[in-house]
Amino acid sequence: MNIGIKKGNITRQKTDAIILSFFEGRKIPDSDVAIVDKALRGIISRFINNGQIKGKLGEVSVIHSLGGLSADRVVIVGMGKKKELTTDRIRGTIAEVCRQLRKQRVKNIAIVNKGFRTSHISSEDSVQAMTEGALLGLYSFQKHITEKKDKSIEVKKITIVTDSKADIHLLENSINRGNVLAEAVILARDMVNEPANYMTPTDMVEVAARMATEHNLELTVLDEEEMRKLGMGALLGVAQGSCQEPKFIILDYKGRNGDEIDIALVGKGITFDSGGISIKPSNKMEEMKTDMAGGAAIIAATVAIARLKLKINVTAIVPAVENLPGGAALKPGDVLTAMTGKTIEIISTDAEGRLILADALGYANKLKAKRIVDVATLTGACQVALGSICTGAFGNNQLLLDALITAGNRAGEHMWQMPMYDEYKEQNKSDIADIKNAARGGAGAITAAQFLAEFASSTPWVHLDIAGTSIGAKERKYYTKGATGVPVRTIVNLVSAISGKR
């Protein structure tokens, strides 16, 4: 789909549909709505007067122009109260309207930018939000469906119409950033939506290799022997039950001079999680193909960072393994030794994500990264606590936590800081090793984060638990059923802020 910008008169746009905004509380059309209303002989005014158009958030009114305009349809979208408008509302509304128009076989759409900007939302921000909303809202994953839907009903082109030629260059930059972010999210969604037999650890390496070639990233992949030499006993313990070879993926982006790593991004890459010997119930086990969503998000975010040419050095680390109950599988009661030398008693083989992350965090510290952010579908407990709307954020550095939550707010990806009181560490104490991998007594998301904190050590670190937010059960805003791509845009926003570019 092509998204472009042009200066023009909205009444002369030859397109299948024009999208105009209308705010709650308005009694008469104004701005471009008034211009279109006049061309349509006052039909919009009549709909406002009789209460058919109220401007409530999510309200959509489709009016056929019947030759009154060059466009076939006019779509009036309710945006709620003007003072409550946010870029995320713009993103979500455009996504939902584009989906609705696709069902009506609309191929070409024009959107009037003027009505989506306010005193607190710039044209650049609104255009970026529109771009992201359209691309993400129209996403679908049909790779393995043999009878694919008719491609002729797809939206082919979206034109954002502005009233100032001087804005064109700035708005083209906004479209580009929106494209980069949305395409990164789509990459992550595609990876997570793949069945586990199409997204093995080796397949994750192939994706990373393709992205490295296309976007000038440096790729290093450690195999089992190299991991063993480094002492990655925690990661290899998880991998030993599967015939799939474990892979330790490292992507380096050099955006500035110097060898210092400004931030290490770590993503959990369990390509299928059966639970191992502590096997999961069969109900919804097919969803465990998505247990590599953290790793997918980190690969995708790193690609976006490279495409945006941010002046920062970033290292992405994705430990990729399967967790299966084979004859050589890890057992409850076993003791593993992590790369840091810390010993771990295994209480549950289904608490495997924290084991592979222990070695990944140890590796990031060995590289002396200034900051670390890890992303993982780590605990069902976090989903119980926060549901599917909000990601749990844990860490040892308030400045980094605050920056990440701000980055999430800008992306429309909600983050909620969870407590990390020292008292929770008591639940992770082992009688026979330095630490155990699963605590009892509640607070499962917090004790899992406290486990990771042992391996993050004193480096400023934030852990994002996306167990609830990585997949969705239905369409919502710019999310479609299946993988969401959370928190790709948040991570890119955070790295942009650290690099000094908003």
Which residues form the catalytic set? Answer: 280, 354
The SS3 call for residue 449 is helix
Q: What length is written for the chain?
A: 502
SS3 category, 120 = coil
The secondary structure of 309-325, three-state, reads CCCCEEEEEEEEEEECC
Burial class of residue 348 in the structure, from the number of CB atoms within 10 Å of its CB (0-12 exposed, 13-18 middle, 19+ buried): middle
Judged by phi (left if over 0) then psi (alpha if -120 to 50, else beta), residue 284 lies in left
Q: For residue 41, which amino acid is it?
A: R
Other CB atoms within 10 Å distance of the CB of residue 396:
19
- Our CA angle for 139, 109, 143, nearest 5°, is 20
CA 141 to chain centre: 16
DSSP-assigned beta bridge partners for residue 373: 265, 462
Q: Angle, to 10 degrees, between the axis of helix 123-137 and the axis of helix 168-193? A: 30
How many Cα atoms are found within 13 Å in the side-chain-facing hemisphere of 376? 33
Nearest to 186 by CA among 398, 444, 414, 486: 486
- Specify the 3-state DSSP secondary structure of 86: coil
d(CA 460, CA 263): 10
Are 7 and 165 in contact by the 8 Å Cβ rule? The answer is yes
Give the torsion sign (CA, 491, 388, 406, 458): negative
Q: Which residue has the tokens 């466009």?
A: 71
User: What is the phi-psi region of residue 335: left when phi exceeds 0, alpha when psi lies from -120 to 50, beta otherwise?
Assistant: beta
Question: d(Cα 141, Cα 162) in Å, to the nearest integer?
Answer: 32
Question: How many C-beta atoms lie closer than 10 Å to residue 249's C-beta?
Answer: 26
